[in-house]
């Protein structure tokens, strides 16, 4: 590793919070693609009422893991079930530390018996590679960074996501008929105009759809074919702004704080990581502030991954997860902001809002939880926020308030009265979209 390590930076800063706290941090949006193509409002509406295409080729890291020990390695560093992991299936990858908190998630696709692709932000991928090196596993890696971090050349893979009520119509037009049935998060090999690719049954906003994945050399031709098939259906190209809001509706909390900053046993891991990794650079901000980075850690149970955790094998953090299973204090919810308060606090026309700031959620005078992603959802007519809140305040219909502001960080007491306004909000389930919550994950 060239340059300072994460541990070097923590030693200089004095704590993880002092290193990461950056008030008013700009929200992340996918790289390279245009912020808007048809306007963010129309793009959000498209996956609700018609059909949309999103280009996911540029903003994720892909690490390709292959070798005789690939499955043994992944099983040792994650809570997933590898006995029920079919070739062509994808899973939400769940790596946890010894304390049972998540490193961060990712999407793991099984390409063959001992060949996998792990996609997403690189924190989970670094965890896998580190343990492979230290454990002497017989595996090989190839990592394709996101376009913003790739020194030259094109991505290895393209990914185009088609979603919305007319997604099936578009697919039938493009492929000359319906695709073979596939369960949620399973992929099937397909061919489009002689080009081989995979169709992954997947969505990010509660509507039926597919993610088409293939070699970059075919990217332009496949996109042209999909765009042509969708044109008579009113296909809308989704830009970076609207795409970054899909997870709010689908209930996925992106990029939780990796639980790697405090455990003395992870000193070597922090020396392995660069200061310029996502673990050293992803900012913290918002009205919720704590000097203790562990107050920002998350359990996979809190994030909704309990059904994906399997105790049929040994893995890092297993004992902690077994102990925590019946004692989960927080749960994931959607907060629906009061429109009148939004107008008072943010503006009569708040326009596009997106933040990953951690804002305090209060039930009366009592601290109830923390927001993780907040965005304007135009078809809903207000702002929604994904939050982890204490279970006693999680019943749908419960009224809470969100403290709207930016704590200055170290040097000011976490509970200082800074005069921040409150926005009333109502607790609702997650995923917020009823179709995603009740129907989409059923087998077809």
Report the candidate in 358, 291, 263, 292 with the shortest Cα–Cα distance to residue 6: 263
At 423 the three-state DSSP class reads strand
Q: Which tens digits make up the pLDDT trace of 194-237?
A: 999 999 998 655 566 899 999 999 999 999 999 999 999 999 99
pLDDT at 351 over 80: yes
Q: For residue 316, count other CB atoms closer than 10 A to its CB.
A: 19
Q: Which tens digits make up the pLDDT trace of 125-175?
A: 999 999 999 999 999 999 999 999 998 899 999 999 999 999 999 999 999
Q: Which tens digits make up the pLDDT trace of 319-336?
A: 999 999 989 999 999 999
Question: Cβ distance 414 to 289 under 8 Å?
Answer: yes
Q: For residue 444, count other CB atoms closer than 10 A to its CB.
A: 11
Q: Which tens digits make up the pLDDT trace of 58-81?
A: 999 999 999 999 999 999 999 999
Question: Cβ distance 285 to 358 under 8 Å?
Answer: yes
Q: Percent of the chain, pLDDT > 90?
A: 91
| Token pair listed for 401 | 């308030």
pLDDT at 441 over 50: no
Please tell me the predicted confidence (pLDDT) of residue 439: 43
Please give the average per-residue pLDDT across 265-280, as a whole number.
97
Please tell me the predicted confidence (pLDDT) of residue 442: 39
Please tell me the predicted confidence (pLDDT) of residue 207: 60
Please give the average per-residue pLDDT across 290-312, as a whole number.
97
**Domains of the chain listed by start with CATH number:** 40-59+152-250 (3.30.1360.120)
Please tell me the predicted confidence (pLDDT) of residue 323: 97
Axis-axis angle for helices 122-135, 70-77 (nearest 10): 110
Question: Cβ distance 361 to 388 under 8 Å?
Answer: no
Q: Percent of the chain, pLDDT > 70?
A: 95
Please tell me the predicted confidence (pLDDT) of residue 205: 53
DSSP 316: T
Question: Cβ distance 125 to 143 under 8 Å?
Answer: yes
Please give the sequence-ordered ranges of beta strands (E in DSSP) within 316-413, or none if there are none.
Answer: 330-337, 354-355, 360-363, 366-377, 382-390, 399-403
Please give the average per-residue pLDDT across 256-265, as a whole number.
98
Q: In the beta sheet, which residues pair with residue 361? A: 369, 402
Q: Which tens digits make up the pLDDT trace of 395-439?
A: 999 999 999 999 999 999 999 999 999 999 999 999 986 644 444
Please give the average per-residue pLDDT across 42-57, as a whole number.
96
Please tell me the predicted confidence (pLDDT) of residue 17: 98
Q: Calculate the average pLDDT of the chain.
A: 94
Say how far apart CA 334 and CA 394 lie, in whole Å: 9
At 311 the three-state DSSP class reads coil
pLDDT at 443 over 60: no
Please tell me the predicted confidence (pLDDT) of residue 67: 98
Q: What helix, strand, coil percent values describe the chain, rounded to 5?
A: 30, 25, 45
Please give the average per-residue pLDDT across 385-392, as a whole number.
98
């Amino acid at each position: 590793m060239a340059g300072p390590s994460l541990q070097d930076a923590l030693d200089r800063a004095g704590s993880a919070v002092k290193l990461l706290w950056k008030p008013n941090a700009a929200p992340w949006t996918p790289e390279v693609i245009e912020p808007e193509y048809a306007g963010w409002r129309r793009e959000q509406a498209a996956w609700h009422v018609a059909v949309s295409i999103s280009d996911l080729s540029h903003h994720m890291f892909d690490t390709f893991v292959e070798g005789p020990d690939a499955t043994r390695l992944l099983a040792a560093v994650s809570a997933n079930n590898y006995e029920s992991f079919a070739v062509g299936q994808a899973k939400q990858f769940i790596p946890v530390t010894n304390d049972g908190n998540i490193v961060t998630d990712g999407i793991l696709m099984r390409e063959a018996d001992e060949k996998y692709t792990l996609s997403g932000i690189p924190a989970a991928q670094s965890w896998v590679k580190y343990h492979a090196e230290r454990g002497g596993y017989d595996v090989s890696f190839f990592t394709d960074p996101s376009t913003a971090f790739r020194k030259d050349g094109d991505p290895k893979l393209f990914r185009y996501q088609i979603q919305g009520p007319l997604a099936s119509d578009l697919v039938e037009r493009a492929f000359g008929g319906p695709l073979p049935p596939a369960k949620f998060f399973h992929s099937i090999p397909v061919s489009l105009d002689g080009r081989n690719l995979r169709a992954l049954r997947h969505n990010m906003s509660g509507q039926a759809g597919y993610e088409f994945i293939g070699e970059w050399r075919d990217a332009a031709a496949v996109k042209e074919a999909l765009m042509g098939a969708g044109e008579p259906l009113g296909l809308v190209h989704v830009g970076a702004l609207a795409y970054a809001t899909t997870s709010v509706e689908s209930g996925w909390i992106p990029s939780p704080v990796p639980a790697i900053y405090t455990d003395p046993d992870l000193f070597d891991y922090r020396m392995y990581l660069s200061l310029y990794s996502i673990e050293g650079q992803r900012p913290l901000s918002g009205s919720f502030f704590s000097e203790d980075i562990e107050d920002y850690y998350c359990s996979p149970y809190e994030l909704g991954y309990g059904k994906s955790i399997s105790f049929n094998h040994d893995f890092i953090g297993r004992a902690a997860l077994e102990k925590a299973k019946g004692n989960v204090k927080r749960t994931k919810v959607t907060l629906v902001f009061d429109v009148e308060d939004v107008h008072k606090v943010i503006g009569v026309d708040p326009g596009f809002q997106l933040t990953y700031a951690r804002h305090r959620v209060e039930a009366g005078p009592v601290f109830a939880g923390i927001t993780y992603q907040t965005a304007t959802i135009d078809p809903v007519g207000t702002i929604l926020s994904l939050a982890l809140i204490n279970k006693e305040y999680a019943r749908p219909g419960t009224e809470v308030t969100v403290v709207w502001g930016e704590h200055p960080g170290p040097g000011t007491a976490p509970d200082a009265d800074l005069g921040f306004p409150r926005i009333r909000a109502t607790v609702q389930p997650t995923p917020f979209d009823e179709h995603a919550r009740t129907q989409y994950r059923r087998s077809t």
